[in-house]
Amino acid sequence: MANTALTKKKRWNDEAMAGLIFVLPPIIGFLLFTAGPFLFSIFASFTSWDSMTDLTGLFKMDKVEREFFYIGFENYKELFTDIDFWKSLWNTLVYMIGIPLGILWAFSLALSFNKQLPGVKVYRVIYYIPVVSSIVAVSLLWSWLYNGDYGLLNQALRAVGIEGPNWLQNAHTVKPAIMVMCVWRGVGNTALLYLGGLQNLPKSYYEAAYIDGANGWTIFRKITWPLMQPITFYIVITGIIGGAQMIVEPQIMAPAGGPDYSAATIVFYIWQKAFGSADAKGYACAAAWVLAVIIFVVTAIQFKLSPSSENYLE
């Protein structure tokens, strides 16, 4: 009995050691590249850290250097008085108007893709191509489309007697222009999610509804759309998080934040402060943490307001 117990214990130790070896690389990677920068960014947000600061000498600073480097909440105070920060935050919120627009368009496409129509598989592929295309290439393509002199959009408007604006150089049109591009690029992925949900809906609900004499609109309103709510919830949450982190599109289509900083997003603002001429990495860390808190609060509210799974058909 003792030998058996020792054998089992040795086997368990060997399996535990093997498992530890397998999980050790991702744990080390997480500590080095996620947890470490995460904790350091909190510390840096209370400092005047820039590229000229020698981080290896933080504990060797004299009193004057330390007082200059550790500035407490000054970054946060300056952040909330910076007009460009509020502009970029407002621009980011405006861009998110595209989330419900994209949901409506994508759901309409998914309803069409769910029917046995000629060539429907080809259309599914066509709408999904922008999702897997390079975001830089797509942004450049739409920049040419929006060009005020030779862009295809303005050429089409001139053909019907309308003189279009310079879309990306106009403070009133740059946000809608970029938002339309973002909706167009993401609609294929959203439609695919809805299509997967539609194809897995229980047929028994529809059979019972038809037996009860329900029409198409009633079936959609009482069965189809409510059962799509978990997918819609996922799309809204990921859309808000992704929208809050948008940077490539405005960076390429409206360099320097567009006219009067009307196209800059909050992440563009953070990037500009961290790696632009200001070179204020501590200040950028403070802005990043404000953004993280906003995302966390909005996501928590969404989870709180979301109905439980058993209430979708109520």
pLDDT in tens, 182-209: 999 999 999 999 999 999 888 888 888 8
Q: What value does the mean pLDDT take over residues 224-247?
A: 92
pLDDT in tens, 58-113: 667 777 677 778 888 999 999 999 999 999 999 999 999 999 999 999 999 999 99
Measured CA to CA, the distance from residue 238 to residue 253 in angstroms comes to 23
Q: Classify 264 in phi/psi space as left (phi over 0), alpha (psi -120 to 50) or beta.
A: beta
H or E segment to which residue 191 belongs: helix 174-198
Percent of the chain with pLDDT over 70: 91
User: Can you give the pLDDT at residue 221?
Assistant: 87
Alpha helices in 31-134, H assignment, sequence order: 36-44, 63-69, 74-79, 83-95, 98-113, 120-132
**Predicted confidence band of residue 302 (pLDDT cuts 50, 70, 90):** confident
The predicted model scores a pTM of 0.86
Q: What value does the mean pLDDT take over residues 19-42?
A: 88
User: Can you give the pLDDT at residue 13?
Assistant: 72
